[in-house]
Structure 1
Amino acid sequence: MKISIAGASGYTGIELLRGLLPYKEVEVVQITSRQYEGKYLEDVFPHFSSTKYAELKFDSEIDPECADLYFLCLPHQPSLHLVKELIDKGKKVIDLSAAYRIKELTRYPEFYGFEHSYPDLLEKAVYGLPEIFRDQIKEVSLVANPGCYPTATLLALYPAVKENVVSSEKVIVNALSGISGAGRSLKQQFHYPEAFGDAYAYNPVKHRHIPEMEDVVQRFSGKKIGIRFTPHILPVSRGMISTVVFETSLNKSQLEELYRLEYRYEPFIRIQSSPPHIKNVVGSNYCDIYVDYDEKNKLAVVISAIDNLGKGASLQALQNLNLMTGLPEDKYIKELSENSILFP
């Protein structure tokens, strides 16, 4: 199978290339980057110089005929239209933007600033969280790869919502992310002198990932649950923690049993006996989850940790690739997760 990666010089694109190195069933035939057009991969990213993709050259635009499957690591609105072009040509697409994640059309102008032009295609897209939508992912040509915050949060919330043990209509989520979640573009607050030794909340009331999480929860449960979500930046390059709090009548041992049963066959979910650390998941496709209970306030506290570039983006995209192409779901990714060579 021939693979093309649009936006291959960003963090998610480079992580995809790292993840694809051991694959024997696919060949990366095109990478794009307007910034590095005409340059070899090894010249821009020297850590690829001894790999089979060292002499791939960056193109400026996607060739819609050169590949069988396309990974789109592009801004939301360019992805919106490119997905349509590629699907019309019979290609498979894994879109890492938010252009096809939310089914509710009215949320796009409100949170992303554009009208969604392709409601029929949006309806056919499958949300690429394998632990919830595995069977649908196997059957489609368009997968909307989840955001990093939603991945960490939804995996922490899913068993409780699925089994109807969340007692309230609102869930409180506080999440912390490494700086790479903002991408490679230069922004003052992410420069080393600005970010080092600092931590802060941002978009505490109207973050773009809120409608994504609420939409997906309603999709798998049929319930409208409000997400009170506050994201924070940590002065680390990558990694993410999401702390999810909700009312429930279950005690700690019942909650822990529920989560262990739900995820007992999942290759990339690890239930932990103590709060997880991001350093234990960085470079991997693992999601580490810890379940606790606040007896005084009758609140469940579920904490998840992922790598925002791994399970939160590119390695999850490879998990979806495996499902879409009939490969074993954990093929190559398990080994990558246990023996990671990290960038950045």
Structure 2
Amino acid sequence: MAIKVSIVGASGYTGIELLRILNLYKEVELVQIISREFEGKALKEVFPFFISTKFSDIKFDKEPDLDSADIYFLAIPHEPAVELAKKILDKNKKVIDLSAAYRIKNFNAYPEFYGFEHSYKELLDKAVYGLPEIHRDKIKNANLIANPGCYPTATLLALYPALKENIIDSDTIIVNALSGISGAGRGLKQKFHYPEAFSNSFAYNPTKHRHIPEMEDQINQISGKDIKVRFTPHILPVSRGMISTVNFKTNLNKKDLIELYRLEYRYEPFIRFQKTPPEIKYVIGSNYCDIYVDLDERTGYAVVITAIDNLGKGASSQAMQNFNLIVGIEEEKYLKNLSEISIIYP
């Protein structure tokens, strides 16, 4: 029997990426796609590059039918996702939420960083953070998956082995990250228009980015320590892709540091070690995280650099990795060669 799936927010970048990947799945029946903007229009009419896919004739609905699907992907803003996830869970359905609505266990972080009061502390406690390399076993039995943000995915994968083995010798981690423009979503914002962004790069929210509490929440859970993140995000004039450069003090030598990372990730299907700093172009359209580990022996700082696709491993293909775990499909199935699919948008 097919697994029935609904995508709420199917016309945004992450929703489109979910559709691109779901088209590969023989086990899935897509029962509904939601977009208030395109209500009543067929997928192929709005996005012609889907014309030759099995979903081409499905039409956008305005509101989700909470009885029609087994699993709901929420690719909508954070605050409405809080309420919708609760309604879906009350119907005994499963939710993979691509917003930040349930990512942070710290109840008080939401008003400060997201501008709204969270209504469901009990669901926050039950939600599982959907980073398989860290929480695989919990994901398999979860009803509510809080799919990680793109910056936290790139950063936490750069930190996890060091945090797990307690080799970080400071209470502050320094992170500089660069993202493609699609990370800002499809909404119209002047800074991200082509004439503004072309041949340009800039930092934004350098002291209070909303992904900081998400990173620190996971860092503190893994390490058991109150470690702060000095995080500076930047925009790159590319459509998609992300680089995160992470620095932390350690007493480990270079050889042992590299060996620690290779041992921790040796069985991870979507971690690829690189001998030189990774490049965005090699992860575009994929679910891979390319990683480079080094030590600046002059300063004693570890240098760990990761590259991911912010719409892939940073969002939708990671959501599908979580989907595979939840429904009992082989974790790697359909996700190994995503970059070879002809549809890459944007």
Query: The TM-score by the shorter chain falls in which range?
Result: over 0.9
Q: Say if 1:3 and 1:28, in contact at 8 Å, map to a contact too.
A: yes
Trace 1:133-212 onto structure 2 (pairs within 5 A): 133-212=135-214
The residue type equivalent to 2:83 in the other structure is: H
In the alignment, which of 308, 325, 328 is matched to residue 326 of structure 1?
Answer: 328
Return the match for 2:295 from 269, 293, 297.
Answer: 293
Quick check: 1:97 aligned with 2:94? no
Residue 171 of structure 1 contacts residue 225 of structure 1 at CA under 8 Å; is this kept in 2? yes
In the other structure, the counterpart of 1:80 is: 82
Paired amino acid for 2:208: K
Indicate the percent of aligned positions where both proteins have the same amino acid. 70
| Residue number in structure 1 paired with 2:122 | 120
Q: CA deviation at 1:338?
A: 5.0
**Structure 1: runs of 5 or more not aligned:** none
Encode CA deviations 1:48-75: one digit per residue, 9 max, x unaligned: 0011000010001111111000000000
Q: Give 1:95's aligned amino acid.
A: D
Alpha-carbon distance between aligned partners in 2 of 1:339 and 1:30, rounded to the nearest angstrom: 23
Alpha-carbon distance in structure 2 between the residues aligned to 1:311 and 1:322:
14
- Structure 1 SS opposite 2:55: coil
Shift of 1:252: 1.6
Q: 1:61 aligns with which of 60, 63, 68?
A: 63
Partner SS, residue 124 of structure 2: helix
Does the 8 Å CA contact 2:172/2:227 hold for their aligned counterparts? yes
Cα distance in 1 for partners of 2:76, 2:340 equals: 28
Q: TM-score, normalised by structure 2?
A: 0.98
Once the two structures are TM-superposed, the CA of residue 217 in structure 1 deviates from its matched residue by: 1.0
CA deviations 1:75-99 (Å, max 9, x no partner) are: 0010000000000100000000000
- In 2, Cα distance between the equivalents of 1:117 and 1:18? 33
Aligned length: 344
SS of 2:291's equivalent in the other structure is: strand
Shift of 1:178: 0.2
- Distance across 1 between alignment mates of 2:341 and 2:225: 40
Partner of 2:46: 44
Give the drift of 1:220.
Answer: 2.0
Q: In 1, distance between residues paired with 2:185 and 2:243?
A: 18
- C-alpha separation in 2, matches of 1:70 and 1:166: 38
Inter-partner Cα distance in structure 2 for 1:220 and 1:120: 21
- For residue 335 of structure 1, report the CA deviation from its aligned partner: 2.7
- Contact 2:175 2:231 (C-alpha < 8 Å) held by counterparts: yes
How far off its partner does 1:341 sit?
A: 3.2
Name the TM-score, length of structure 1 as normaliser: 0.99
Alpha carbons of structure 1 residues 164 and 338: separation in structure 2 relative to 1, 3 Å: farther
Deviation at residue 221 of structure 1 after TM alignment: 2.1
Moved more, 175-184 or 22-31: 22-31
Amino acid at match of 1:256: I
Moved more, 331-340 or 39-48: 331-340
- What is residue 2 of structure 1 aligned with on the other side? 4
Amino acid across the alignment from 1:74: I
Q: Which residue matches 1:268?
A: 270
CA distance in 1, matches of 2:339, 2:201: 27
Are positions 1:106 and 2:108 aligned together? yes
CA RMSD of aligned residues (A): 0.8
Separation in 2, partners of 1:66, 1:48: 23
Any runs of at least 4 consecutive aligned residues in structure 1 with deviations exceeding 6 A, and if so which?
none
Mapped partners of 1:338, 1:38: distance in 2: 31
Distance across 2 between alignment mates of 1:140 and 1:302: 31
Matched-pair contact (CA < 8 Å) for 1:309–1:315:
yes
Kept after mapping to 1: 8 A contact 2:286/2:337:
no
Q: What amino acid does structure 2 have at the position aligned with 1:250?
A: L
3-state secondary structure, aligned to 1:333: coil
CA distance in structure 1 between the aligned counterparts of 2:74 and 2:206, rounded to whole angstroms = 28
Distance apart, 1:219 and its partner CA: 1.5
Matches within 5 A, 1:227-246: 227-246=229-248
